Structure 1
Amino acid sequence: MGSATKDAREEVLQAWYMDDSDEDQRLPHHREPKQFVSFDQLAELGVLSWSLDADNYETDEELKKIRKERGYSYVDFCEVCPEKLPNYEEKIKNFFEEHLHTDEEIRYCVAGSGYFDVRDRNEAWIRVWVKKGGMIVLPAGIYHRFTLDTDNYIKAMRLFIGDPIWTPYNRPHDHLPARKQYTEAFLETEAAVNAAA
């Protein structure tokens, strides 16, 4: 692939550093000037992403391949919007509490859009905007949160290895093995590399 080839993910995923404003969480919260984050930078934090064909998710060979390679046996759908989600206001508040899981969080946006915020190595928030066709994997142990954007709607496929466990552990939960493994795999390696340089 030549460097001129556009990454298909750019159509369905964007990431940037957030400002510190406490305005409506559903706004983009860009810094001034805007500071975008590359897919490589996300991957360094363990955040993986794909662009898939959301109109044909039942038959999509690419999705089948990812599920097989990564062992995602379980699948269901979650619609987040005021009309479809019971206790919507409370749930949205909970999703936006900074938390981690002891397993990967895999979300494939088949309609609508939303924001997944993750912490970088220096604790700054990176906002990842996932739109229809975007699939994101947050590694076990990464601190993150979720909110809708101003369209107030997302339909996401949730994938899981084995039986789903959706337990959020609100920060701080640094003592959990998943957090320690995440820190060792993604946060300390870079520090060691920089110290050696």
Structure 2
Amino acid sequence: MVKVWLMDNDKEDDQRLEHHLEPVQMLDLDYLDSHGIKYWQVDADNYKQEGLLDKIRKERGYSYEDFITVSPEKLPNYEEKIKSFFEEHLHTDEEIRFVLDGSGYFDFRDRDERWVRIAVEKNDLIVLPAGIYHRFTLDTKNYIQVMRLFVGEPVWKAHFRPADDLPCRDTYLQSLTTM
């Protein structure tokens, strides 16, 4: 089950550490939902038989999938890639990740520009809306395997901050006023 907290981003420590504030300030799934982030728990070992992933795919129009393993042994140019994943950016489409094995962190900027950390692990399916500033890193286990889902053809382009001139950013900010 996903865990969410306000993050201490001032530390110069390893990005793979938890980075809790003192005192710890945990958040709940409603907090994610209030920022347009969707979450489901899906059985990674039996998702084909279970049917929940197929239902979500049909409802949300996810028609493309691929798989990636992020670890020093499996990802070419690992150090370069992991640094680019951790640069603050947004996408013009949703970012959909289903964790099949391992664990890591998605960080996003909340409506008050604070960093929020989402710890994901096996069985977590998370959807970050288009236009939300975010980043990704592994945790200290240095391993995650995910299914990446897309509506139509995949769009891989990350728009690094500042990207406030993109229509998806304005649409995202407008959506926060109705949540």
TM-score bucket of the superposed structures, by smaller chain: over 0.9
Alignment of 1:1-197 (within 5 A): 12-19=1-8, 20-186=10-176, 188-189=177-178
Larger CA Rg, structure 1 vs 2: 1
The structure showing larger relative contact order (alpha-carbon pairs under 8 Å, at least 6 residues apart) is: 2
Give me the whole-angstrom Cα distance separating, in 2, the residues matched to 1:101 and 1:67: 19
Give me the whole-angstrom Cα distance separating, in 1, the residues matched to 2:91 and 2:39: 18
Indicate the SS of the match to 2:56: helix
Q: How far did residue 166 of structure 1 move?
A: 1.1
Tell me the TM-score normalized by structure 1. Answer: 0.88
Q: How far did residue 189 of structure 1 move?
A: 4.2
Select between 49-58 and 130-139 the one with higher mean Cα deviation: 49-58
Indicate the SS of the match to 2:171: helix
For 2:7, the aligned partner's letter is M
For 2:64, the aligned partner's letter is Y
Deviation track 1:142-195 (CA, whole Å, cap 9, x = no partner) reads 000000000000000000000001110000000000001001111x446xxxxx
Give me the whole-angstrom Cα distance separating, in 2, the residues matched to 1:84 and 1:38: 33
Q: How far did residue 99 of structure 1 move?
A: 0.1
Query: Identity over the aligned pairs, expressed in percent?
Result: 61
Give me the whole-angstrom Cα distance separating, in 2, the residues matched to 1:58 and 1:78: 18
Give me the whole-angstrom Cα distance separating, in 2, the residues matched to 1:170 and 1:30: 25
Structure 1 gap segments, 5+ residues each: 1-11, 191-197
Give me the whole-angstrom Cα distance separating, in 2, the residues matched to 1:89 and 1:58: 33
Across the aligned residues of Structure 1 and Structure 2, the Cα RMSD in angstroms comes to: 0.9
Aligned length: 178
Give me the whole-angstrom Cα distance separating, in 1, the residues matched to 2:50 and 2:75: 27
Structure 2 gap segments, 5+ residues each: none
Q: How far did residue 60 of structure 1 move?
A: 2.8
Give me the whole-angstrom Cα distance separating, in 1, the residues matched to 2:97 and 2:158: 15
